[in-house]
Amino acid sequence: MRINLKVLICDDVSEKGIDIFKKQADIEVDVKLKMSEDEICEIADQYNAIVVRSATKITKRILEHAKQLKVVGRAGVGIDNIDVETATQKGVVVVNTPDGNTTSAAEHTMAMMLSLARHIPHADHSLRKGRWDRKKFVGVEMRNKTLGIIGFGKIGSEVGKRAKAFDMKIIVFDPFVTKEVAERAGVESVSLNNLLKESDFITVHMPLTAETKHMICTEQFDMMKNDVRIFNVARGGIIDENALYDAIVSKKVAGAALDVYEQEPQTESPLFKLPEVIVTPHLGASTQEAQINVAIDVANEIVRVLRGEPVQNAVNIPFVKHENMATFKPYMVLTEQLGKLAGVFAEGPMDTVEIDYFGEIVNYNTSALNNTLLKGLLRPFLHDAVNYVNAPLVAKNRGVKVKETKNFHTEDYTNKICVTIRGNGDWKHSISGTVFKNNELRILSIDDFSLDIQPTGHIIIITHNDKPKVVGKVGMVLGEYEVNIAGMQLDREEVGGGAMMILTIDQEVSTEIIAAIKEIPGIKSANYVAF
């Protein structure tokens, strides 16, 4: 068969993945490592597919030169080195391999737990220095200890299985794991605060997002038991390293084991000087088996894309042109923003997502919109583990029921979409939105509050009591942190009742600023959203 498809491999991947391409009679594969952006641009238009790991960046410039490109594959989970937005605009599918390193990361977590509990690295170092110091390295048993797992996805659940073999009590926090799913796994689903208060060991298995950055900082350390032990084999930045250092020095935290860091590569850190800390250089996925698995997975996905077959791990959905795309595309963007905003209001594990369509949009196949909404809802918490293709399955596996209704009649707008999330019969929140004729997106309501928000940029959403001085004090707090307010909207249920304040701001805000706002008397909740 004549060769008419070409694959470029830019980073070192397992030969077993490369062999999959070589077995295809109509695919030619070239391995060219350590190329610069200029070098890739010179040859990019020759290839239909590009494979990378973390070293090579697929930039907008490269994508503009790659006229024949159909797919970019990441042999791994993270896609920060790929310009997904530009790829989407150009109809290029981006795929990753979220499952290939699950076992490796889970086993590395257990290795870190055992090493910290029994002082293995430091005892090894001491003995090699000629010291037989048994009393110095008295450890603790894991049996009958409470392990708190933050994030109960593929890796977190695998850690739970292994920890149960050590007779540990497992409690988990995950916004998308219902009590029923937790019970089937033999663990207990709790709030984040309860997990922090009850755990002897805490391990993090969340992605790094705007919502999870520094989710473990001084306030959280203060809630924990004395002599708690902390582990991070997920992403650097979820734990505030400065706060962790202070918590260890003050003896609040007995020790920590870290595989990831806020800045990588990292060879110098105050944490590295503490004897209570064990560190490794991001080895979670560094096993022979994991490297083989991700190479095989990405190769198979790329072959499926080139053959026009369904894929399992597409990170994006290219906007293919057809007669309805001009109308349909803005609603895909809207549903993703509605999902992201709804997730902000989740008060715990959710069990139901209701999606209601009103108006002419009911004539379309809304399954793509449902997937996009679920992706927006789940992605802030699960990040690259969820995509447009697998979002419904991810929701189902976590016990979340998705219900869709359609109604052609709508009173106020040509089209309207409403999403309602519910959790364990205890709480619910609803958000609605539309697209104006000029393709401007609008959030129309949040719960019982009527609004007119453009879901772009940086927004702070505050619920509070309708009383004097609250709005002014919020402005003062932001002013103290030199955060400029670009716009404000207010709505209230009744005079003196509940109220909602929407602030459009010019920059990202830290968890410290949000915490300061929450301290203002009369404030019920404050959430920052970056669209």
Pair 333, 441: CB distance under 8 Å: yes
Pair 386, 437: CB distance under 8 Å: no
Q: Which helix (H) or strand (E) holds 332?
A: helix 325-344
State the catalytic residue, choosing from 85, 180, 183, 264.
Answer: 264
CB atoms within 10 A of CB 327: 14
Q: Chain-centre distance of CA 426, in angstroms? A: 25
Tokens representing residue 258 in the block: 């870290």
**Residue 220 CB contacts under 8 Å (≥ 6 apart), including other chains:** 192, 196
Backbone CA torsion sign across 332, 333, 334, 338: positive
CA distance 231 to 278: 9
CA distance 94 to 376: 17
Q: Which amino acid is it at 319?
A: F
Count how many residues are written for the chain: 531
**Residue 438 CB contacts under 8 Å (≥ 6 apart), including other chains:** none
State the catalytic residue, choosing from 53, 122, 214, 235.
Answer: 235
H runs (alpha helix) in 383-414: 391-397
Pair 351, 413: CB distance under 8 Å: no
282 a catalytic residue: yes
First to last CA, the chain: 48
Tokens representing residue 168 in the block: 């540990």
CA separation, residue 77 to residues 18, 52, 54, 300, 390 (Å): 19, 11, 9, 15, 14
- 208 closest CA partner among 300, 317, 77: 77
162 a catalytic residue: no
State the catalytic residue, choosing from 53, 108, 205, 282.
Answer: 282
Q: Which helix (H) or strand (E) holds 105?
A: helix 102-117
Give the single-character DSSP code of 207.
-
CA distance 276 to 256: 7
235 a catalytic residue: yes
CA distance 103 to 110: 11
Q: Which amino acid is it at 186?
A: G
CA distance 332 to 326: 11
H runs (alpha helix) in 129-169: 154-164
Active site residues: 235, 264, 282
